[in-house]
């Protein structure tokens, strides 16, 4: 995150994941906030349609976490 916001000067980092357990925990550990879900818009490892979990973090939020 530091590279994204401090070096690249991004305004926002956004991601999505089908895996509602492992990936979501990792995104939350990075300080990202859940912004919503999209119903059956991605496929899981078995090839079945699954919901996507959408996460994001703004530069301002990242800066406040660091102070």
Backbone angles phi, psi at 2, to 5 degrees: -60, -40
pLDDT at 13 over 90: yes
pLDDT digits (tens, 9 = 90+) for 25-46: 899 999 999 999 999 998 888 9
Alpha carbon distances (Å) from 65 to 27, 41, 43: 15, 31, 33
Q: What does pLDDT average to over the chain?
A: 92
Entry pTM: 0.84
Under CATH, domain 2-66 is a member of which superfamily? Gcn5-related N-acetyltransferase (GNAT) (3.40.630.30)
Instruction: Give the start-to-end residue ranges of the domains of the chain.
Output: 2-66
Contact 14, 55 (CB under 8 A): yes
Alpha carbon distances (Å) from 42 to 4, 14, 18, 28, 32: 25, 16, 7, 20, 20
What percentage of the chain has pLDDT greater than the value 70? 97
Question: What's the DSSP call for residue 40?
Answer: E
């Amino acid at each position: 995150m530091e590279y994204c916001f401090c070096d690249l000067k991004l305004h926002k980092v956004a991601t999505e994941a089908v895996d509602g357990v492992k990936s979501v925990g990792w995104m939350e550990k990075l300080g990202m906030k859940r912004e919503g879900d999209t119903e059956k818009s991605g496929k899981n490892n078995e090839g079945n349609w699954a919901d996507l979990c959408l996460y994001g973090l703004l530069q301002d939020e990242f800066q406040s976490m660091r102070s």
